[in-house]
Structure 1
Amino acid sequence: MEGSAGDRSSWASSVHARLSMQANRGRDTRPELLVRAALHARGWRYRVNHRPLTADRRRTVDIAFTRKRLAVLIDGCFWHRCPEHFVMPKTNLSYWEEKIAGNVRRDAESNALLEGDGWTVLRFWEHQDPATVVEEIEASLRKLS
């Protein structure tokens, strides 16, 4: 049963850990939905899970204002190493150190690629107040007008 939840060659330290991590959403998270709903209610229109880079079609942004070239990403505290909330798992330490460091490197690379292609990039943490996030997005949109 290679690759199954019971496979000990898996990255997961237990069946429960594997199922928990597989259940994490890559898009449409609660923080994203709250911000998107507030933006929509204020009359803003945007693209969701957009792939703005022609050179690297695998990279997506959570919210994209294509005409203004504004990319918004709402990062999870665990997956992107939030300085306030991130706690390194105790089990399978070498896997998690490499995984999280890779995510942080990819975030910085994505920022550089987007900015190099003329995009303004805004990154927020999942724990930030959605109303504050929306205000910052709106301020950037007005500045880009």
Structure 2
Amino acid sequence: MNAKESPAQRSAIMRAVKSRDTTPELKVRALLRGFAPGYRLHRKDVPGNPDIAYVGRKQVIFVHGCFWHGHDCARGARMPKANADYWRAKIARNVARDAAHQARLTAQGWRALIVWECELKDKAALEQKLRAFLFGAET
């Protein structure tokens, strides 16, 4: 927490963090529109409420923020100094929830792909990954 921020201010900032239509999600959707339109968004009838779903193909794409979902990149590895125990537990719960969603999806015959926020840096590689998942071999 910044020295000038009160706990109430920090709480307001955290409440403003979106879970839908985030910048990384919008970038992935813009990329997909070019070669694989026809997706549906935030399907509540699919385990995990995926960001992007191709229902007929039984394929889903989750766009995960590296920090929030505990990715092993530099951004995902950094931990806030304030209230570190809380954040470690929170991220561990997110990781466990994500794993449970993946297991339910697999059990129901769905294929899932996770796109990490850090992967947006290399648009060509990301497009290749998405094409391979949607049209090619298992990823």
- Shorter-chain TM-score above 0.5: yes
Higher helix share: 2
Which residue of 132, 137, 142 corresponds with 2:135? 142
Aligned Cα RMSD in Å?
Answer: 1.8
In structure 1, C-alpha distance between the alignment counterparts of 2:22 and 2:50, rounded to whole Å = 13
- Map of 1:32 onto structure 2: 25
Q: Could you tell me which residue of structure 2 aligns to residue 91 of structure 1? A: 82
Structure 2 unmatched runs, 5+ = 1-5
CA distance in 1, matches of 2:98, 2:21: 19
Stretches of 4+ aligned residues off by more than 4 angstroms: none
Counterpart of 1:102 in structure 2: which amino acid?
R
Counterpart CA distance in 1 for 2:43 and 2:83 is 33
Decide which of 113, 121, 132 is 2:112's aligned counterpart. Answer: 121
SS at match of 1:115: helix
Matches within 5 A, 1:66-77: 66-77=55-66
Q: In the alignment, what sits opposite 1:82?
A: 71
- Structure 1 contact 38–131 (Cα < 8 Å) conserved: no
State how far apart, in whole Å, the 1-side matches of 2:37 and 2:128 are.
12
Q: Which moved more, 1:90-99 or 1:109-118?
A: 90-99
- For residues 123 and 135 of structure 1, the distance between their equivalents in structure 2, rounded to whole angstroms, comes to 14
What's the secondary structure of 1:73's corresponding residue?
strand
Identify if the C-alpha distance between structure 1 residues 44 and 131 changes in structure 2 by more than 3 Å, giving closer, same or farther.
farther
Larger Rg over CA atoms:
1
The one-letter amino acid paired with 2:58 is: R
SS at match of 1:61: coil
Identical amino acids, percent of aligned pairs = 37
- For residues 17-62 of structure 1, what are the alpha-carbon distances to aligned partners after superposition, in whole Å with 9 as ceiling and x for unaligned? 2121111110101111111112112252100111243xx6xx3101
Normalised by the length of structure 2, the TM-score is 0.83
- Alignment match of 1:14 (pick from 7, 12, 23): 7
Structure 1: tracts of 5 or more residues without a match: 1-12
